[in-house]
C-alpha cells in the first residue's frame, strides 16, 4: 500500500476484507523487517469515511509507529519489555511525528493523551509526560 510505504514501512501490506475488532489495522513483526506485515482490515475504510473518526492515514501511521519502535536501532533497545499500553502510547506519538497532515497528527496525539488519562493521571501530569516523551523520541529518531 502506498500510504504505508510513504511512512517508511518495510515489509508486506495486505488488505483483509473482514472486521477484526483491532481498530482497522495491525502490525505484525516478522523475523526480519522485510517479513513484517501490516494488515489493513475492512473497518479501516468504514472509520476513514467517518469525519469524526481516525483517517486511514492516521491508522496506518500508528501501525508504522509500532514498526519504528520495534526496528529502529536506538528505540528498540529502550522500549523492549514495555507494556502493551505503553507501546500504544509511543506508537501514537511516533505516528504523529511521521504524519504530515495536521489533523492526523492531532488525532494521534489525542489518542496518546487519552491512553494516559485513562490511567488516572492528572491533565497536567499527562501534558508534561507527553512533552517529555515527544522530545525524547525526536532526539532518538
CA 56 vs CA 2, 4, 24, 66: distances in Å: 12, 10, 8, 16
Distance, in Å, from the CA atom of 121 to the CA atom of 101, rounded to the nearest integer, reads: 28
pTM of the model: 0.93
Confidence of residue 110 (pLDDT cuts 50, 70, 90): very high
Q: Is the pLDDT of residue 1 over 90?
A: no
Confidence of residue 81 (pLDDT cuts 50, 70, 90): confident
Distance, in Å, from the CA atom of 121 to the CA atom of 4, rounded to the nearest integer, reads: 33
| Structural domain range at position 57 | 2-140
Confidence of residue 23 (pLDDT cuts 50, 70, 90): confident
Average pLDDT over every residue of 64-79: 93
Dihedral angle, C-alpha 80, 138, 57, 76, nearest 10 ° = -20
Amino acid at each position: 500500500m502506498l500510504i504505508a510505504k510513504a511512512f517508511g514501512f518495510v515489509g508486506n501490506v495486505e488488505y483483509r476484507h473482514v472486521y477484526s475488532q483491532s481498530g482497522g489495522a495491525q502490525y505484525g513483526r516478522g523475523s526480519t523487517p522485510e517479513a513484517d506485515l501490516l494488515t489493513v482490515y475492512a473497518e479501516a475504510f468504514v472509520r476513514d469515511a467517518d469525519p469524526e473518526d481516525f483517517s486511514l492515514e492516521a491508522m496506518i501511521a500508528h501501525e508504522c509507529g509500532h514498526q519504528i519502535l520495534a526496528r529502529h536501532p536506538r528505540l528498540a533497545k529502550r522500549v523492549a519489555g514495555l507494556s502493551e499500553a505503553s507501546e500504544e502510547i509511543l506508537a501514537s506519538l511516533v505516528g504523529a511525528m511521521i504524519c504530515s497532515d495536521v489533523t492526523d497528527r492531532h488525532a494521534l496525539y489525542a489518542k496518546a493523551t487519552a491512553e494516559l488519562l485513562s490511567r488516572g493521571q492528572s491533565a497536567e501530569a499527562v501534558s508534561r509526560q507527553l512533552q517529555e516523551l515527544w522530545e525524547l523520541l525526536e532526539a532518538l529518531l
